Amino acid sequence: MFFRVRHQKMLHVYLLIFVVLGILVVLGAMIAYHVLLREQHFQIQAAVAKLANGDLKNLHFESAAIYNSVANSADQKPLVIYNRVPKTGSTSFVNVAYDLHSRNAFRVLHVNVTGNSHQLSIYDQFRFVDNTTRWLRPAFYHGHFAYIDFERYGYQKPYYVQLLRKPLDRLVSYYYFLRYGDDYRPYLVRKKHMDSSTTFDECVERDGADCQANLLWLQIPFLCGQSADCWTPGSEWALKQAKRNVLEKYTLVGVTEHMGEFLHMLELIIPGKMFHNASEHFKHSPKSHLRKTAKKHPLSRKTIQKFHESIIWQMENELYTFVAREFAFAYNKQFPNTPSILNGSMGKHLKSSGYIPPPSFRYEKIYPKPAQFQKKKKSTNHV
């Protein structure tokens, strides 16, 4: 009995010692973590102060932990998704990525949706989000599918990019593409080649199925997303949602007519130098303007007027105008000394690739002051 009581007391003592040691270890770790954070804080403040004073040569992080956390962060291995709208110059853009992938060290993957459908089931959306998030990066995914919301499934949103084209130009290009093909695969017989003698104007006159105004309804749903209302022609909600996604979900949405400027912006805002030298490559590459439709007839004023009276064209054109205005604003803000993109003269004044404009902001009144600057200030006062 005596030994049993003594044994129980010893167990209580050992348990108490174990608890105390655990508390001490936790407290020690918290103190060490706090000290490390404070040290990194001062180093960052010192780096910012050097940057503010223009001391770029001696700017470096002395803490390897800070450097590694920045260099190895997910942002340096970006996930870029281009849910390309058909007949918007997407092949030219994608071929720039294929040409640069080896030099800039990233992967390019085409997403082939079964049956040329632009919508995915809910579970397929989840699988796509999960796959692209977990697989190797940096990576550039492209395919003809509507916007998929990563955050809906609990994942961090990727860098979504998009290009839009004037709605009627896009539809007319697609109409003749189905009949005459393009310069990318000129010998491929297209499914409408038997109807190649019918012009778009004649199709409109006959009220043909391939030239209905409802067929314009594509850029809005691509930016709107996978919801049923996104694909309802004439939906005001879909137009508003597409605009909202342009501002909140997409990193950059450009226009086909200014693809060079679009690539230049990507060079600046996609991390890891993924699109380094993209605009210069686009300017000189023989693949820059692929998939040009082999033959197109100019539209009559009557046809143009008929489409302009359509609610669908007006809504699609409203989205295109909205995107063009937002892109022009962003580009002109980034390069204020460049002629406005809206006047159509931007291309000849495109800044050379690799040009990074100086920042239009600076840091000041930084507190608490780094210790080394406090010492320097005291020594200056003594002098």
| Burial class of 14 by CB neighbour count within 10 A (0 to 12, 13 to 18, 19+) | exposed
- For 188, the 3-state DSSP assignment is coil
Dihedral sign from CA coordinates of 326, 331, 336, 340: negative
Q: Which residues pair with 162 in a beta bridge?
A: 253
Token pair for residue 357?
């404009």
Marked catalytic residue, from 60, 118, 144, 289: 144
The answer to whether 164 and 85 are in contact (CB under 8 A) is: yes
Query: Which of 265, 252, 261 shows the shortest CA–CA distance to 283?
Result: 261
Marked catalytic residue, from 142, 258, 264, 276: 142
Distance from C-alpha of 317 to C-alpha of 167, rounded to nearest angstrom? 6
The β-bridge relationship of strands 79-83 and 139-143 is parallel
- For 146, the 3-state DSSP assignment is coil
Identity of residue 372:
Q
Which helix or strand (DSSP H or E) is residue 251 part of? Answer: strand 250-255
What per-residue string of b and e applies to 363-373 under the rule 16 or more CB within 10 Å gives b?
Answer: eeeeeeebeee
Question: Please, what is the Cα angle at 183 between 178 and 184, to 5 degrees?
Answer: 90
What secondary structure does DSSP assign to 50-114, as a single string? HHHTT--TT---S-HHHHHHHHTSGGGS-EEEEEPPTTSSHHHHHHHHHHHHHHHT-EEEE---G
144 assigned to active site: yes
Q: How far is CA 260 from the centre of its chain?
A: 16
Dihedral sign from CA coordinates of 167, 168, 172, 178: positive
According to DSSP, residue 116 is labeled: G
Distance from C-alpha of 245 to C-alpha of 146, rounded to nearest angstrom? 12
- For 234, the 3-state DSSP assignment is coil
Q: What residues are labeled active site?
A: 142, 144
